[in-house]
Structure 1
Amino acid sequence: MVDSLFADVSYFQARVDDSYPYGIFSFRSNDGTFRDDNFAANYEWACRAADSGRLGCFIAYFYWRPNWSDCVNVHRDMVTALGGPHPRMISMIDVESGGNPRGDQSDGINRAYWNLADWLGHPRRVIGYANRSDFFELWPDRPDGLRVIGAGYGADPGLPGQIAHQYTDGQGYGGGLPEGCSPFGNCDMNSADGLSPLDFAAACGIRTAQEAK
């Protein structure tokens, strides 16, 4: 069985380069209206790597805030400024309680989801990220078929629709799996269990070159 590992990074880490070893790559565009300084370099590298076949797909994500429309517009503007969404790009909504109101935020999160789904042309090209408690508290009413990356350091959260597990923040929770990778050093790491990079891409609505013809 194939498991695909991949890093999740932001401006807290180095910018990606050709030493990156995996076939999926996840990186932040914005936190609310704050724009990540490393996004342009990471996005341009990811596009080249996807074009060459080095990456099966890549994830550009933003940290959701209650001003969801501003969050989405910044994310879209940052991608559009670099040529628009790459055919192998997935948008991810990072849903966390840190700095956000508690309780049901489904309306604003779902509005962000459907805005991105319309933009990308397929709802599966929009996925979520959350730990178990935030997932059920902040996003109890979710779109059908939603795919998610579940965060659980030291334990798999097993969320509905989960297609990958963020198993460590680089601080020793990997249980023998890598705590990071080049060029970043220790960082958030994910495992898409049982999925190759192309399988992961297909689960997120991204077609192969042959299917796209």
Structure 2
Amino acid sequence: MTDTLFADVSTFQAPVDDDYPYEVLSFRSNDGTFRDDHFAHNYRWATAAADSGRLACFIVYFYWRPNWHETVRTCIDMVAEAGGPHPRMIVMLDVEQGGNPSGDQSDGINRAYWAAADFLGDPRRVIGYANASDFASLWPTRPEGLRVVAAGYGNDPQLPGQVAHQYTDGQGWGGGLPEGCDPFGPCDMNSADGLSPDELAAACGIGTERSGVRS
């Protein structure tokens, strides 16, 4: 069985470079209206790596905030300013309790989801990230067929629609799997269990042919 590992990074790690060993990469664009300092560099590297066939796909994620319109607009603007969206790019909504109101936020999260889907032209290319309790409390009503990356350090939540599992924050939860990678050192790491890089890309609406030409 093939498993695909990939890192999940932001301004708290070094910018990506050619020492990165995996075929999928996830990196932050923004937290609300805060723009990640490393986004432009990471995006340039990821698009070049995707164009060359080095990456099967890459994930740009933003931390959802109640000012959902400004939050998703910030992500869209950052991607557009960097020359995107790239055809092998996936957008992920990072939904967490920290700093957000408690209770059901499904309306605002789903509006952000559909705004991102309109930008990419394909809702399959928009996925969600949360732990099981935050999915249940903050985003209980989700789009049909939503693909998710589920966070669960030390356990696999195995949530509906799950395509990958964030198994560690780099602090010892890997159970033998890597706790990080070059050039980042310890960091959030994910495993798409049973999926090759191209199968993970296809599950999120990315074509299986790794073309070297942008659309």
2:2–2:193: 8 Å Cα contact kept in structure 1?
Answer: yes
Q: Which runs of 5+ in 2 are unaligned?
A: none
Deviations 1:36-92 (A, max 9, x none): 000000000000000001000000000000000000000000000011200000000
2-structure distance, mates of 1:116, 1:38: 21
How far is 1:209 from its partner? Answer: 3.3
Which amino acid in structure 2 is aligned with residue 63 of structure 1?
Y
Matches within 5 A, 1:95-114: 95-114=95-114
Three-state SS of the structure 2 residue aligned to 1:14 is: coil
How far is 1:164 from its partner? Answer: 0.1
Deviations 1:102-140 (A, max 9, x none): 100000000000111111011110000000100110000
2:148–2:161: 8 Å Cα contact kept in structure 1?
Answer: yes
Which residue matches 1:165?
A: 165
Matches within 5 A, 1:46-57: 46-57=46-57
Count of residue pairs brought into register by the alignment? 213
TM-score (norm 2): 0.97
How far is 1:161 from its partner? Answer: 0.5
1-structure distance, mates of 2:84, 2:184: 26
Which amino acid in structure 2 is aligned with residue 56 of structure 1?
A
Three-state SS of the structure 2 residue aligned to 1:209 is: coil
TM-score (norm 1): 0.98
Three-state SS of the structure 2 residue aligned to 1:119 is: helix
Q: Percent identity?
A: 74
Which residue matches 1:22?
A: 22
Which amino acid in structure 2 is aligned with residue 73 of structure 1?
R
Matches within 5 A, 1:65-84: 65-84=65-84
Which residue matches 1:190?
A: 190
2-structure distance, mates of 1:136, 1:124: 21
How far is 1:17 from its partner? Answer: 0.1
How far is 1:210 from its partner? Answer: 7.9
How far is 1:208 from its partner? Answer: 2.8
Runs (4+) off by over 2 Å: 208-213
Three-state SS of the structure 1 residue aligned to 2:116 is: helix
Aligned CA RMSD, in angstroms, stands at: 1.4
2-structure distance, mates of 1:87, 1:62: 18
Which residue matches 1:201?
A: 201
